[in-house]
Structure 1
Amino acid sequence: MPEPTAAPEDDPIRFGLDDFRRMMDALPMCIILHDAQTKSILWANPSACQVLGFTLEELLPLKAPDMSRQSHEYRREIGRKWLHDATLHGSNMVEWCYRAKNGEEILSEAIATLVPLTERDVIMVQFRNIAREEQIRREMKKLESRLKEFMQDSDEGVAVLRPDGGIEYLSDAGRKLLGVRPGQNPPKNFVEQCLPDSQEELQELLTLALPDAISFPLRYRIARKDGLVRWHHAVCRYIEIENDLKGHLLHFHDITDQVEAEEARRRDQAALEYLARHNAMGEMATAIAHELSQPLAAIRNFLEGSVLRLNHSEALREQAGQIIWGLESAGRQVDHAAAIIKSVREYVVKLEQSEGLIDLNEVLAEVRWFIEMRAAEGRVQLEVQASEEALVVSCEKVLIGQVILNLAFNAIEEMSHFPENQRRVCISLARKDQQALLTVADEGRGIDAGHRERLFDGFFSSKVSGNGIGLALCKNIIARHRGDIWAQPAQVRGTRFCFTLPLVQRHN
């Protein structure tokens, strides 16, 4: 072969056969040439011989079983089919496990390519050791499985959000927290699932590209896919993972129980503060009742003395009739005032907080004064139906009286939304099996079925006025007395509030 001549700089470089042979020998990629027809080995480069541990002369007569893992998926017919498909389609790639001369198994990614040569067609197989990559892949898969297993029962969700609130990524725990059932698509936008009072703060946070991985805590209310409204606490920070994720990373968990417990504590504290004020007012009312009883008694004596003098005065006998009528009317009003003060004094007098046996009719009679006065102020027609038989229960009289007052005052207040001729409230006592049943029925607007279930849980917003102590505390009092309290629709319209207490059988 003549020596190649120097080519001008703009001419392409020409390589001789020895040049190509030296380049093939220098390739780190392992190459084996097979005959396209017989699939026999024709040649292998030094890299292939070194990896497999055979010399070229040793390698040429070998077949697939001689240099492959002794496994079903690497049998000879599979190898021949792989090479044959390369002759049909020009190229074919497979994962193949070669076996070196020393028995070492080499997991490889092998590409078979059809190459037409002058004398014959050959199949050039290029392969590289991927054992290390496969090991890393298995370790990564194992790590991923572990993480999934560890996160399976986690109560913290993870989401990556775009600036518009769209969800770029959502973990399995996050799907559960958003109420997404298996097989159901998650919501497209996280912010839109939040309630209006929470959307503005979260949306504002998502527009910030926070530097230096600064995290911001936040609390929001969100409407789940299943319709439930829950409270979440979250920590948000901005992330940029190269060629992967970019946005705000949100770690969030459900704190609804915690929020409701805090709200319950605030309501209970408010109720206790109210009861403390009520006790103070009770003590003042007792003092006032004591102080007023003496002037009223004196006024009564003066009126009776004046009537006696008028009856014995000849000079005023003609006018005495009208004067005596006025004095007797004033006396009746004094008696009425004295009766009211006596009722106040008996009710608010300080009692030991211990249970005793009492007829529930008597408790209703003691608080009836207050209910009638409130009904008269609201121009509400009041009907009180005591039980014909004694309903003896074991209770703290003052507490049960408070419950009756609260239910009655709420019913009277509800009727203030209606015309005068439609304002009616009925309070009744009756025996129901082995229980005493008290019912307060109004003819008001009624309560939605969904709200009735939450009336007594301490989170329902209801007005508490006068001596009312709140429906949640009413429930606690009745439960403490081994009873039950509930609300149900009235027959025509309105609501019936009922509670029962177990009857006590008296043994003579």
Structure 2
Amino acid sequence: MNFPAEEDFHRLLDALTLCVLLHDAETKAIVWANRAACEALGFTLEEMLPLKAKDMTRPVPKYRREIGVGAMDRAITEGPQVYEWCYRSRTGADMLSEAIATYVPLQERAVVMVQFRDISVEDTLKQTLRRYESRLREFMQDLGEGVAVLTPAGEVEFVSESGRRVLGLEEGAPMGDVLDYCSEPDRDRLLAQLATAPRIQPSPPQRYRITRRDGTPGWLRITCRRIEIEDDLNGRLLHFRDITDEVAVEEARRNEARLLEYAGRYNAMGEMATAIAHELSQPLAAVRNFIEGAILRLGQPGSVDDALWGLRSADRQAEHAAVIIKSVRDYIVKREPSETHADVREVIADVAYFIELRARDAGVAVTIEQAPEALPVYCERVLIGQVVLNLAFNAIEALTECPNAAARRGELRLVTSLRGKYALVQVIDNGPGVPAEAHGRLFDGFSSSKAGGNGIGLSLCKNIVTRHGGEIWAKPARQGGLQCSFTLPIVAVPAG
């Protein structure tokens, strides 16, 4: 079998795009270089043969000749060696390279073949990626949001540093099962969210009450989606954000709203006090008269039946007074919010008694025009009734303060109707109205249509209506005066 001559090996190596240098195995002098190496370093073969390491290497300590010679010696005794080397071309351009030194015992002499390729672009890319990674880690360090990857079996494959902090995990501690963080009632819900995770976009966010690894309670908002990136990444990608402070603020706002609503009820009670006192005075006076008459009758012979009639009449009047007191107490008593299905027309009927009492003493005529169809809504009846009371009492007070109130009878209309998918309530008066520029801010805090008023009652009305999903506004009435309106969303009446 005829082996190719050394010249033929040189031709083969010249055809390579990979740079090749042949060093004498004993002296380490260059004995040959292929065309790619000559072009990369900018020397002809004849110019390269006498060169030493200092003539073609970046002059820094880690590229000293002794280090390169050591790699070649190890290639002779231990096999091929891979190392980094920075060659310098004739023009002074540096070429960071991955070098592979291989011992080759040729027929004429033993050599160490050094193959090298330019990795400057790869190194620059690696450095850029490392910078991006370090920056990303730094930027995410203080986030209140974490990222985790779950395998198809539900095991935690990765969790970000910010996620470890959100979950109260110490450095190096395993995350464990994600279900362990949830409260018992939430586990099935989290499992369902993971099982139905979409592929293209994150799932709708859900809230979960959790207990962190350090034992502190908290709240998370979690979204997830399926990821399938060949064999590299497969499972569920979770994004979770700490919303403990957000939930606390929401709860504080709810408590504040409840306190305002309770305060508004007592405020309404104060405004009704005069009318209620007048209304109670009649049955109480009648009770006294009937009882005094019964006492006098009992002193006369044969008058028991008359006395019994007087006592029964007194009892009826006392019962009437009790009904009045109970209706007021039921309205203002502090209670937890109780939302229920109700017909808006019935809510108007609940408060009509108080409005008519107040209007009668003020000499104002009240007309109630109810919608012919039911107006089912989901609400706290007492609070929606309070909105109607506040609007009606404001209108009555405006009518009594009108400069020509004595010359023209004040009129107040309460109208309910269906407007699309909403129940509409209108409180309309024929009073002096308010300036046009005040309509838009009438229901903001500290804006009032009453002289000396601070607008808290109207602001409370807006708070209640908007919390029920409705809107409230004011505009001039057609016949003069003010028209205040609010809407509530219509809901389906539950079966049965």
TM range (shorter): 0.5 to 0.7
The residue aligned with 1:170 is 159
What is the CA-CA distance between 1:306 and the residue it aligns to?
6.5
Which residue identity does 1:301 align to in structure 2?
E
1:373-417 superposed Cα distances (whole Å, 9 cap, x missing partner)? xxxxxxxxxxxxxxxxxxxxxxxxxxxxxxxxxxxxxxxxxxxxx
Pairs within 5 Å for 1:291-370: 291-298=282-289, 301-302=292-293, 305=296, 309=299
What is the CA-CA distance between 1:294 and the residue it aligns to?
1.5
What is the CA-CA distance between 1:269 and the residue it aligns to?
3.9
Contact 1:159 1:249 in 2 (8 A): yes
Change (3 A) 1:289 1:145: same
RMSD: 4.0
Which residue identity does 1:297 align to in structure 2?
R
Give the Cα–Cα distance (whole angstroms) in 2 for the partners of residues 190 and 106 of structure 1: 49
Give the Cα–Cα distance (whole angstroms) in 2 for the partners of residues 122 and 20 of structure 1: 13
Which residue identity does 2:212 align to in structure 1?
R
1:302-327 superposed Cα distances (whole Å, 9 cap, x missing partner)? 476468x58xx9x9xxxxxxxxxxxx
Change (3 A) 1:16 1:122: closer
Give the Cα–Cα distance (whole angstroms) in 1 for the partners of residues 67 and 245 of structure 2: 62
Change (3 A) 1:29 1:257: same
Which residue identity does 2:176 align to in structure 1?
K
Give the Cα–Cα distance (whole angstroms) in 2 for the partners of residues 144 and 105 of structure 1: 27
Q: Does 2:41 align with 1:52? A: yes
Give the Cα–Cα distance (whole angstroms) in 2 for the partners of residues 291 and 161 of structure 1: 76
What is the CA-CA distance between 1:233 and the residue it aligns to?
2.0
What is the CA-CA distance between 1:248 and the residue it aligns to?
2.0
2:223 counterpart SS class:
strand
Q: Does 2:131 align with 1:142? A: yes
The residue aligned with 1:99 is 88
Contact 1:163 1:206 in 2 (8 A): no
The residue aligned with 1:452 is none
Change (3 A) 1:144 1:254: same
Change (3 A) 1:25 1:164: closer
Contact 2:204 2:223 in 1 (8 A): yes
Which residue identity does 1:258 align to in structure 2?
E
What is the CA-CA distance between 1:149 and the residue it aligns to?
2.7
Change (3 A) 1:273 1:220: same
What is the CA-CA distance between 1:288 and the residue it aligns to?
6.5
Give the Cα–Cα distance (whole angstroms) in 2 for the partners of residues 57 and 157 of structure 1: 62
The residue aligned with 1:67 is 56
Give the Cα–Cα distance (whole angstroms) in 2 for the partners of residues 16 and 77 of structure 1: 33
Gaps of 5+ in 1: 5-13, 316-329, 349-508
2:205 counterpart SS class:
strand
Change (3 A) 1:142 1:175: same
The residue aligned with 2:204 is 217
How many residue pairs get aligned? The number is 315
The residue aligned with 2:240 is 252
Out of 240, 243, 252, the position equivalent to 2:228 is 240
Q: Does 2:192 align with 1:201? A: no
Q: Does 2:97 align with 1:125? A: no
Q: Which runs of 4+ in 1 moved over 6 A?
A: none
Contact 2:142 2:162 in 1 (8 A): yes
Give the Cα–Cα distance (whole angstroms) in 2 for the partners of residues 188 and 52 of structure 1: 55
1:446-469 superposed Cα distances (whole Å, 9 cap, x missing partner)? xxxxxxxxxxxxxxxxxxxxxxxx
The residue aligned with 1:435 is none
TM-score (norm 1): 0.54
Give the Cα–Cα distance (whole angstroms) in 2 for the partners of residues 286 and 229 of structure 1: 52
Which residue identity does 2:70 align to in structure 1?
K
The residue aligned with 1:261 is 249
1:24 counterpart SS class:
helix
Give the Cα–Cα distance (whole angstroms) in 2 for the partners of residues 232 and 83 of structure 1: 59
What is the CA-CA distance between 1:34 and the residue it aligns to?
1.5
1:151-192 superposed Cα distances (whole Å, 9 cap, x missing partner)? 2322222222234432222112211211223x2414222233
Contact 1:161 1:248 in 2 (8 A): yes
Q: Does 2:38 align with 1:43? A: no
What is the CA-CA distance between 1:69 and the residue it aligns to?
0.8
Contact 1:231 1:254 in 2 (8 A): yes
What is the CA-CA distance between 1:98 and the residue it aligns to?
1.0
What is the CA-CA distance between 1:268 and the residue it aligns to?
4.1
What is the CA-CA distance between 1:97 and the residue it aligns to?
0.7
Give the Cα–Cα distance (whole angstroms) in 2 for the partners of residues 169 and 285 of structure 1: 69
Which residue identity does 1:140 align to in structure 2?
L
Gaps of 5+ in 2: 303-310, 330-496
Change (3 A) 1:15 1:87: closer
Change (3 A) 1:16 1:62: closer
Out of 12, 28, 32, the position equivalent to 2:17 is 28
What is the CA-CA distance between 1:42 and the residue it aligns to?
1.8
Which residue identity does 1:88 align to in structure 2?
T
Contact 1:165 1:203 in 2 (8 A): no
Change (3 A) 1:286 1:166: farther
What is the CA-CA distance between 1:84 and the residue it aligns to?
2.1
Identity of aligned residues (%): 42
Which residue identity does 1:134 align to in structure 2?
D
